[in-house]
Structure 1
Amino acid sequence: MTKIITAITLFICSLLSAQTQFEQGMGKAFGLWKEGKNTEASAMFERIASADKTSYLPNYYVALVNTTSAFAEKDKSKVDLLLTKAQDVLDVEFIKDQNNSELYVLQALLYTAWVVQDPMTNAQKYSGKIMENYAKAKTLNPNNPRAVFGEADYQLGGAKWTGVDTKPLCAQVDKAVELFATFKPETPFSPKWGLERALEAQKNCKK
């Protein structure tokens, strides 16, 4: 009986230790990202992902870091590398779970990065996929502020070319801002980004 209790205690301790290592690693990776060390942050998230196959978050942040980096990158070959890496790890998480609203939001954002890189070539190719992914994200979680805002923001970005009425889109931006106020992330590391961009879009809507 003592052996069983000892074994259980050791198992619980190992779980707590693993959890602590995960939290420490994630904290360090976020710190690097905040410092603008995107490559180092991505590498740290990758290491965490290889050590912990249970959480989607490390690979999610590998994809998010590389996708957001691509928006600011001017070198086409570097953009290709960043977005390919992002897509590879996102595909890994989609295989595990096709019902995660956040993954579809990120997939839409990744496709948007391709459009921004080369609008003339990629807008027609990816616009439909972007809207499909936001629609799926909203179906899975209608209260996901990133899904509501992302869908409206993408359409607002193209409004001057498509000529769509922006009032309903601006109403969706307002809704997203309200959702951000009540949104509660599942864990300390769960996605909670997007409010600043939504507030900026809200200001532009009122101009």
Structure 2
Amino acid sequence: MKKYLLSFALAFMSLTSFAQADYEKIMAEKIAKTETCKTPEEFQALANDFQRIGSKESSKWLPPYYAAFSQIQKGRLMMRNGNMQELDETAAQADKYLATAQNLAGADNAEIHLLRKMAASLRMMVNPAQRYMTDGAKATEELGIAERLDPSNPRIALIKAEDVYFTPEQYGGSKTKGMEMFKEAITKFNAYKPKTALDPNWGRAEAEYFISMPAK
């Protein structure tokens, strides 16, 4: 009897290991696509892919995290193209995924709080004058939480640099200061090591893009 139980246990462990390897392979492939998607439609399809992975791997926080990230990247592209009409819905979808991710990862996850900041910023951009005191304040709060939890995180430094760079000077922004902050973000990227191969590691290319821009 012990022999059969041992065989069953070994078979179960093998299946579990195979399933984990399969999950990691699929996730790695999809995460790589977050760097190559060029349109809102491609990011939406990627968010759907992560949602499907999350429905099968319901105990893991990374699939809903990346679904939210894909939604946010979709929204940022829409914003750059001047399409503000769907930003509220896009941010709401991101927040839905982030709620799931936070339930699984816990409240002390800086990466999730940073995406909450980015989602709030998307909502604010629909009407900055009216929403600065609500969504703008929420974005500031979430960024502060993320920074307290993980002050060495380069993605936090990147988003802070973006905020300074794109904010008009009359409201406290500065392209010169923003550029210096992008350089600080690169220094943090050089020192930062993700906990696993699947953990968030995005942002370096964007910081490098800004640094490579000719001085004005």
> Once the two structures are superposed, what CA deviation does each residue of 1:56-107 show, in whole Å capped at 9, x if it has no partner?
1100111011111112225545333222111111012223311111001111
Give the count of matched residue pairs: 207
Look up the match of 2:62. 57
Contact 2:163 2:173 survives alignment (8 Å): no
Q: 1:76 to 1:53 in 2, by over 3 A?
A: same
Counterpart secondary structure, 2:22: helix
Deviation at 1:2, TM superposition (A): 1.1
Look up the match of 1:140. 149
Contact 1:109 1:130 survives alignment (8 Å): yes
Look up the match of 2:90. 82
Look up the match of 1:18. 19
TM-score if structure 2 supplies the norm length? 0.82
Contact 1:153 1:201 survives alignment (8 Å): no
- In 2, the alpha carbon distance for the partners of 1:113 and 1:164 equals 18
Percent identity, aligned pairs only, is 20
- In 1, the alpha carbon distance for the partners of 2:45 and 2:176 equals 41
Bigger Cα displacement from structure 2, 115-124 vs 128-137: 115-124
| Equivalent residue in structure 2 for 1:103, among 108, 112, 120 | 112
Instruction: Tell me, yes or no, if structure 1 residue 42 matches structure 2 residue 50.
Output: no
- 1:43-192 aligned at under 5 Å gives the runs 43-73=48-78, 74-96=82-104, 97-163=106-172, 170-192=179-201
Q: 1:205 to 1:179 in 2, by over 3 A?
A: farther
- In 2, the alpha carbon distance for the partners of 1:144 and 1:186 equals 12
- In 2, the alpha carbon distance for the partners of 1:174 and 1:157 equals 16
TM-score if structure 1 supplies the norm length? 0.86
Bigger Cα displacement from structure 2, 31-40 vs 99-108: 31-40
Look up the match of 2:5. 4
Letter in 2 for 1:100: N
Counterpart secondary structure, 1:71: helix
> Once the two structures are superposed, what CA deviation does each residue of 1:142-162 show, in whole Å capped at 9, x if it has no partner?
110011221232133224231
- In 2, the alpha carbon distance for the partners of 1:123 and 1:161 equals 15
Deviation at 1:134, TM superposition (A): 1.6
> Once the two structures are superposed, what CA deviation does each residue of 1:102-141 show, in whole Å capped at 9, x if it has no partner?
0011111111212233323323322222222122112111
Contact 2:166 2:173 survives alignment (8 Å): no
Structure 2: gaps (5+ residues): none
Deviation at 1:201, TM superposition (A): 3.7
Bigger Cα displacement from structure 2, 94-103 vs 147-156: 147-156
Q: 1:30 to 1:141 in 2, by over 3 A?
A: closer
- In 1, the alpha carbon distance for the partners of 2:197 and 2:23 equals 12
Contact 1:25 1:44 survives alignment (8 Å): no
What RMSD, in angstroms, separates the aligned Cα atoms of the two structures? 2.5
